[in-house]
Amino acid sequence: MRQSFVRRTGSMNKYGIIIILFFSLGAYAQNAITNPSEIINNNTRVIVPGIGAEGVLLGDKEGDVIRKYKDSDISIIRTEKKDFFSDVLRINAPCPVYFNKIIKIANANIACFLYNGSVCAITGSNNDSVVLNNISIINGVDYFIYSFGNRGIIKFQSGKNQLLLYAEKGICIADDDNDNDIDLYAVFKCNATQGVR
């Protein structure tokens, strides 16, 4: 009997180690899933409000963006200090997001807005992109609102065009022609250091 107890104990230790490894790997995988920065860096079709999109993180440096899209059609536009909302989107948002350079990546359908060398806003128009919580851009405006809710939404209307801004979450979407298609999305972070209107 004593011998079988030792054998069982040895087996139990092996199973115990396997179980510990299984849970450790599960915890590691869960951490990777809940780390949006890693998800964005590894997937150019993921959008995370207030953090990044299309493989670019808010706060990335100009060189980081150029390296990520080195084989793409890149153009750089320098400008004086402008506000992303009032000068690009033509809306009066609750906080400014300043930029003084734009990196356009034509074949990826994105643009990165930089202020003093750091990405402060990202726009895109890829229908196959997905917001982190599985909201597919191709599902349209109504599904987006249904998923994000009405809390904190600011709607801007100009003729048949509308822009929906979630300033606190750091995302907005535009629908030209009121056809329920998301024609443009933007990710940004309203900074208290940049001031509030």
pLDDT along the chain (197 residues), means of 10: 50 49 42 72 88 95 94 95 95 93 94 97 92 88 93 93 94 94 93 47
CB burial of residue 171 (10 Å; 0-12, 13-18, 19+) = buried
The predicted structure's pLDDT at residue 41: 82
* 119-129 pLDDT tens trace: 999 999 998 89
* 2-45 pLDDT tens trace: 554 445 555 555 554 444 434 443 444 444 456 888 888 888 88
The predicted structure's pLDDT at residue 7: 52
How many angstroms separate the CA atoms of 88 and 83, rounded? 7
CB burial of residue 122 (10 Å; 0-12, 13-18, 19+) = buried
What pTM was estimated for this model as a whole? 0.79
Q: Are the C-beta atoms of residues 69 and 105 closer than 8 Å to each other?
A: yes
